[in-house]
Amino acid sequence: MQTSACLCEGAPWLYHGRFVTPSGSEMEEPRSETMSETVPFRCERCGEIVTLTVDEPARSCTNCGSAELAPLEIPPPDAGATSAEDGRIDEREAPPWLADPRALLGEPGEYICFEDGGEVVVVPLTREWTRIGRGLAADVRFDDPTVSRRHALIVRGADGLRVLDDRSLNGVFVNGARVEWSPLTHGDEIRVGRHRLYYAVLEPADAPAATAP
């Protein structure tokens, strides 16, 4: 069965050093809100993730308008028992295009990269979270039955970026080990269904380069 990947409308991706939407129009780099000022919620009706300020009186889904919002549970940084640090399997070979982050990425930042139809798709991780799945609300969407509608979340916290299993059917694997969540470092392979994505970091020219574990 042929599968396809897409970036949903409004989700920015990098093409020749510019942030563009899937429709082709240029946009400014989105600004991410700080975790200390906002609280994430999930809409129980449509699955949308909504960021609300702590003192915001009216709480409703920005996608469907529902007030049925449940707090999104994000494991604390010290919950290491559920991470990939224990039993990590690192026997995979990184794709050759990941060996030169500067040529691949162009601009300093954090990215998720994957191959689709013989091309490398590069997704900037500039938001508080990035949703990966088969559903229409996903920021990175795979039209593939091996991928759940809500499969994984990449969440930005004070301790860096982490990937979380978003109650998927087939699980999330980091470097071959199934995880509930795991911190991410440059070169990590994230597998959702039959798809392999890679976390890549390009440091500024005057900063030391990140290395894979």
**Per-residue confidence (pLDDT) for residue 150, from 0 to 100:** 93
pLDDT of residue 113: 96
Contact 48, 64 (CB under 8 A): yes
pLDDT tens digits, one per residue of 67-116? 887 766 666 655 544 444 444 445 567 899 998 888 888 899 999 999 99
DSSP labels, 58-99: ----TTT----EEEPP---TT-GGGSTTTT--------GGGS
- Interval 148-204: pLDDT, tens: 999 999 999 888 999 999 989 999 999 999 999 999 999 999 999 999 999 999 988
Task: Give 111-116's long-range contacts (Cβ < 8 A, gap of 24+).
Answer: 111/14, 111/199, 111/200, 111/201, 111/202, 112/140, 112/154, 112/190, 112/197, 112/198, 112/199, 112/200, 113/197, 113/198, 113/200, 114/5, 114/195, 114/196, 114/197, 114/198, 115/196, 116/4, 116/5
Q: How much is the pLDDT for 188?
A: 96
Q: How far is CA 186 from CA 26, 147, 154, 156, in A?
A: 27, 24, 14, 15
**What's the whole-model pTM score?**
0.65
More confident residue, 51 or 165: 165
